[in-house]
Amino acid sequence: MRGSGCLLAGRLLLLLACLAAAAARAEPAGQPGAWRSLFDGRSLGQWEVVGRYEFHGHGKVEVRDGRLVLAAGQPGTAVRWTGEVPKIDYELRLEAMRVEGDDFFCGLTFPVGKSFCSLILGGWDGSICGLSSIDGEPAAENATAFHLDVEKGKWYRVRLRVTRAKIEAWIEDRKAIDLPTEGTTLAIRFPEEAATPLSLATWRTSGAFRRLEIRTLAGTSRP
């Protein structure tokens, strides 16, 4: 009996050691996942050109010098991601540039749970930014609106965080948007089938994008 007890204790210690080793290899609780690239700088990959609705008269879309370039459309040009993306609890980051034109050079449409929203940079008079739409109001007319003196040919670092509680956005190192979403109605200007789940658009303007990446956050709900 004594030998059996020692054997059982030994097996228990071995099991505990294995569990501890597995926990050590696992990603620490509460830590974000690794950044995953959405653009390799060489091809469109899982991005497809949108050719419907406001994007019927789209400009040329090409990959050039490590950039995803959207030429000015009449009125819009857009590409849509065809792969899977998280619906909530994630971050996106990218760099965007206005090449030519005076309207928005980055229209980033993204999922927020079962809804969708768009981050608009440089719209209307060429400097207005914000989320569109919030409770039926476009970016220029809701509480997320802010001005950005856009310089043509300059890369702007953009980071977007979407959680169950809020939508946050940073331009360069400035936190520009901090919107609690409880009780808020989110929507997008474009028909959902043309722009969702994730898309990049320009409006009568040529824009370029690079370093597009996404990562999940703790508690992510996958599609």
pLDDT single digits (tens) 66-87: 999 999 999 999 999 999 999 9
Query: Would the pLDDT of 223 be above 60?
Result: no
Q: Are 118 and 131 in contact (CB under 8 A)?
A: yes
pLDDT category of residue 144 using cuts at 50, 70 and 90: very high
pLDDT at 53: 95
How confident is the model at residue 221, as a pLDDT? 43
Q: Say how many domains are in the chain.
A: 2
Do residue 67 and residue 77 come from a single domain? yes
For the chain, what percent of residues have pLDDT higher than 90? Answer: 80
For 162, the enclosing helix (H) or strand (E) is: strand 155-162
Do residues 38 and 5 both lie within one domain? no
Residues 87 and 147 in one domain: yes
What's the mean pLDDT when you consider all of the chain?
89
- Per-residue confidence (pLDDT) for residue 214, from 0 to 100: 98
Contacts for 79 with CB less than 8 Å, ≥ 6 apart: 44, 47, 48, 49, 50, 61, 68, 70, 199, 200, 201
pLDDT of residue 2: 52
Task: Please tell me the predicted confidence (pLDDT) of residue 219.
Answer: 57
Q: Which range marks the domain in which residue 11 is found?
A: 1-31
Whether residue 28 is predicted with pLDDT greater than 50 in this model: the reply is no
Structure tokens at 118: 């768009």
Q: Confidence band (pLDDT; 50, 70, 90) for 137?
A: very high
At residue 155, does pLDDT exceed 70?
Answer: yes
Asked if 171 and 83 sit in the same domain, the reply is yes
Residues 62, 7, single domain; the answer is: no
Is the same domain home to 22 and 121? no
pLDDT of residue 3: 53
pTM equals 0.84
40 in the same domain as 24: no
**Is the pLDDT reported for residue 18 higher than 70?**
no
Residues 10 and 86 grouped into a single domain: no
